[in-house]
């Protein structure tokens, strides 16, 4: 009897002790991730999952400084054409394969040569990799590349187990093997992605959860209700309009950071036949629209003031922001003058395509009302995203409300949009001076030289306005009040080092 009682008590204790230990963290995402292969993936939420699963060569601080992660240090050659990195020596992949210089070489090779790889352009400057020692590697570049370290801080720098990747080929995403704090357990599409603690993680002391579950919950109101009901612990992208309610809840903490990206209106300047229209041909019209709108009011009305008004590809708090071109105040008279100068004193029509979700539609209706007061008659066409993207890329549009999620390096926010033939230059804007300025900014690691180039480019682009920038989203996280040690990053990622949950 007493023996039984003892075992029972022991069992119960064991269970409770285990219960206290086995801590699961539940994170609600706005949408489901795509394929979980760092070389093939494309979505923002996918990167949030990687932040817990796949370590990168380098990481960033909340102030966007590059800091060591798998690489402990690095040196540029004097001419900037080679980068030597020393690697952490106590790292193994989730399948037990040791991490070393050879693994880095094979990873770069995969990112550059796997036919399905989406990382090719990010790593295009690397022409050779050389193993200098067990934990030292050198990258040889075709020319200086200021963006490379920032690429290494994202998917291009994520190290996957080379053996597992070789075995799985393009199907690696079904069972990814990296070296991060948590390893992949299972994925049920649209339902959950489950990761478990990796006991051999090099920084295991900083990790305080046994499992992490990512749950895609698309509806913002429902995400918040789940947090309030205690079904989840962290949610990303709280709606700005729900901010007040979350702040008023004593059991919820809120943290936020202005994102690296932007939202704006892209004009078809020269993309196909439809580029030949007044709005594409005359920058004065685009200036008029920019003057007609009140970016602060947009922020207040649509986002309860939680986002940041903007007029450049970089948010105003960014070191790359050109301070001499501040966010313009609304000036309807100037807008009307510009219309008159361009030959439309009685007003002009503008057709804008908008993705068919609530926020863009709301935003565009606000702009429609503002522009209307300046004589610009906006016609909104709501399209589902696939159609919108296809029409935009094919030049079958006059103007398009679209944004960019943002990159750590400033180049990622401007180069491919504004240079002739740039990868995402759907506007087909082309200006030789802009090309040379933006290319120059790419090949020097000297921040002040780069800053001057970007400022000079901004001054031209602020007159040309192929994109009228509107605002910068703020990432807003809502957290259970037991969550301690969470840090908001402008890249929108959730880093779990040092994060704990007290219940």
Partner 1 sequence: MAHSSDRLRDDTEEHLAEGAVDVIDPVLATAPENRVWKKFRTHGSAVFGGILVAFFVLIALLAPILPVPDPAATDWGAVRQAPSLDHPLGTDEIGRDVLSRMVWGAQASLMAGVISVAIALTLGVPLGILAGYFGGWTDAVISRCTEALLAAPFLILAIALAAFLGPSLTNAMIAIGISATPIFIRLTRGQVLSVKAEDYVEGAQAIGLPTPRILTRYIFPNVFPPVLVQATLTVATAIIAEASLSFLGLGQQPPSPSWGSMLNTAKNFLNQAPWMALWPGVGIFLVVLGFNLLGDGLRDALDPREH
Partner 2 sequence: MLSFILRRLLIAIPTIILITIFVFALQQLLPGDPLLVMAGEERDPEVLEFLREKYRLNDPIPIQYLAWIGNVLQGDLGISLRTNQPVTELIGEKLPVTIQLAIMAIIFAMVIGIPTGVLSAVKKGTPVDYAANVVALSGLSIPNFWLGIMLILLVSVQWDLLPASGYVPISEDPIQSFTTMIMPAFVLGTALAATLMRHTRSAMLGVLTSDYVRTARAKGLLERSVILKHALRNALTPIVTLTALLFGELIAGAVLTEQIFTIPGFGKLVVDAVFNRDYAVVQGIVLVTAIGFIMMNLLADMLYFLLNPRLRHQ
Q: Which of 8, 132, 204, 297 binds partner 1 (CB under 8 A)?
A: 297
**Residue 293 burial (10 A CB sphere; 0-12, 13-18, 19+):** buried
Q: Can you tell me the distance from the alpha carbon of 184 to that of 421, in angstroms, rounded to the nearest whole number?
A: 39
Q: Which of 43, 81, 241, 365 binds partner 2 (CB under 8 A)?
A: 43
300 binds partner 1 per the rule CB under 8 A: yes
Give which of partner 2, partner 1, none residue 362 binds (C-beta under 5 to 8 Å, depending on kind).
partner 1
35 binds partner 2 per the rule CB under 8 A: yes
Asked whether 185 and 27 are in contact (CB, 8 A), the reply is: no
Q: Which is nearer to partner 2, 231 or 459 (CB)?
A: 231
Q: Which is nearer to partner 2, 20 or 229 (CB)?
A: 229
302 binds partner 1 per the rule CB under 8 A: yes
Q: Which residues are CB-neighbours of 491 under 8 A, at least 6 positions away?
A: 47, 60, 259, 260, 406, 408
CB of 50 to partner 1, least distance (A): 29
Give which of partner 1, partner 2, none residue 256 binds (C-beta under 5 to 8 Å, depending on kind).
none
Nearest to 104 by CA among 70, 76, 153: 70
Binding segment for partner 2 among 165-173, 301-309, 366-374, 437-445 (CB under 8 A)? 165-173
Q: Under rule CB under 8 A, which residues in 67-96 are in contact with partner 2?
A: none
Asked whether 155 and 41 are in contact (CB, 8 A), the reply is: yes
Q: Can you tell me the distance from the alpha carbon of 302 to that of 306, in angstroms, rounded to the nearest whole number?
A: 9
Q: Which is nearer to partner 2, 117 or 290 (CB)?
A: 117
Q: Which is nearer to partner 1, 24 or 373 (CB)?
A: 373
Size of the site for partner 1 (CB under 8 A): 28
Q: Can you tell me the distance from the alpha carbon of 245 to that of 46, in angstroms, rounded to the nearest whole number?
A: 28
Nearest to 135 by CA among 83, 93, 98, 96: 98
DSSP reduced 3-state for 232: coil
Residue with tokens 């921040």: 447
393 binds partner 2 per the rule CB under 8 A: yes
Binding segment for partner 1 among 78-86, 157-165, 294-302, 435-443 (CB under 8 A)? 294-302
CB of 362 to partner 1, least distance (A): 6
425 binds partner 2 per the rule CB under 8 A: no
Sheet holding 376-383, edge to edge: 308-309, 467-472, 262-267, 399-404, 348-355, 376-383
Q: Can you tell me the distance from the alpha carbon of 447 to that of 97, in angstroms, rounded to the nearest whole number?
A: 38
Binding segment for partner 2 among 15-23, 128-136, 170-178, 334-342 (CB under 8 A)? 170-178
CA triple 262-263-265, angle to 5 deg: 135
How many CB atoms sit inside 10 A of residue 105's CB? 18
424 binds partner 1 per the rule CB under 8 A: no
**Per 3-state DSSP, what percentage of the chain is helix, strand, and coil (rounded to 5)?**
35, 25, 40
Nearest to 193 by CA among 43, 34, 41, 42: 34
Asked whether 22 and 210 are in contact (CB, 8 A), the reply is: yes
121 binds partner 2 per the rule CB under 8 A: yes
Asked whether 427 and 268 are in contact (CB, 8 A), the reply is: yes
250 binds partner 2 per the rule CB under 8 A: no
Q: Which of 1, 2, 4, 188 binds partner 2 (CB under 8 A)?
A: 188
Binding segment for partner 1 among 53-61, 188-196, 259-267, 298-306 (CB under 8 A)? 298-306
Binding site for partner 2 (CB under 8 A): 32, 34-35, 37, 40, 42-43, 115-118, 120-121, 170-171, 173-174, 188-191, 215-219, 221-222, 225-226, 228-229, 231, 384-387, 389-391, 393, 404-405, 423-424
Write out the residues near partner 1 by the rule CB under 8 A.
Answer: 220-221, 224, 239, 241-242, 244-245, 297, 300-302, 356, 358, 361-362, 364-366, 368-369, 379-384, 387
């Amino acid at each position: 009897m007493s023996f039984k009682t003892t075992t029972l008590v022991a069992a119960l204790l064991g269970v409770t002790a285990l219960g206290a230990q086995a801590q699961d963290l539940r994170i609600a995402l706005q949408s489901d991730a795509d394929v979980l292969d760092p070389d093939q993936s494309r979505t923002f939420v996918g990167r949030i999952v990687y932040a817990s699963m796949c370590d990168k060569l380098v990481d960033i601080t909340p102030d966007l400084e590059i800091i060591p992660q798998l690489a402990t240090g690095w040196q540029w050659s004097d001419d900037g054409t080679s980068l030597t990195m020393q690697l952490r020596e106590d790292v193994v992949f989730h399948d037990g394969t040791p991490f070393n210089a050879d693994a880095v070489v094979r990873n770069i090779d995969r990112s550059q040569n796997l036919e399905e790889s989406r990382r090719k352009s990010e790593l295009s400057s690397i022409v050779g990799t050389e193993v200098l020692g067990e934990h030292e590697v050198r990258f040889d570049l075709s020319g200086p590349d200021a963006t490379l370290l920032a690429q290494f801080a994202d998917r291009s720098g994520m190290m996957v187990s080379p053996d597992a990747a070789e075995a799985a080929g393009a199907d690696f995403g079904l069972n990814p093997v990296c070296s991060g704090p948590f390893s992949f357990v299972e994925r049920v599409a649209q339902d959950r992605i489950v990761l478990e603690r990796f006991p051999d993680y090099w920084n295991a002391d900083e990790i305080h959860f046994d499992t992490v579950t990512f749950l895609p919950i698309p509806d913002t109101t429902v995400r918040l209700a789940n947090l309030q009901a205690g079904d989840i612990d962290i949610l990303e992208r709280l709606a700005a309009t729900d901010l007040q309610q979350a702040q008023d809840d004593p059991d919820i903490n809120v943290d936020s950071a202005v994102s690296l990206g932007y939202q704006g209106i892209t004009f078809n300047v020269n993309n196909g036949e439809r580029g030949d229209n007044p709005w594409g041909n005359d920058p004065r019209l685009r200036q008029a629209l920019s003057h007609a709108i009140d970016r602060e009011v947009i922020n207040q009305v649509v986002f309860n003031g939680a986002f940041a008004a903007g007029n450049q590809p970089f948010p105003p708090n960014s070191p790359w922001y050109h301070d001499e071109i501040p966010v313009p105040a609304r000036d309807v008279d100037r807008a009307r003058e510009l219309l008159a100068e361009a030959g439309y004193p009685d007003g002009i029509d503008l057709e804008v395509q908008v993705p068919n979700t609530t926020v863009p539609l709301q935003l565009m209706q606000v702009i429609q009302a503002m522009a209307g007061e300046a004589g610009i008659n906006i016609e909104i066409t709501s399209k589902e995203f696939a159609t919108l993207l296809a029409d935009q890329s094919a030049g079958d549009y006059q103007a398009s409300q679209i944004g960019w999620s943002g990159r750590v390096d400033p180049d990622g926010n401007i180069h491919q949009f504004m240079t002739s033939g740039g990868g995402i230059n759907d506007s087909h804007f082309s200006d030789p001076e802009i090309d040379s300025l933006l290319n120059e900014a790419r090949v020097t690691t000297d921040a002040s030289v780069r800053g001057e180039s970007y400022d000079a480019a901004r001054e031209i682009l602020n007159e040309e306005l192929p994109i009228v920038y509107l605002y910068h989203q703020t990432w807003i996280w809502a957290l259970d009040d037991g969550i301690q040690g969470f840090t908001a990053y402008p890249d929108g990622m959730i880093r779990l080092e040092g994060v704990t949950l007290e219940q």
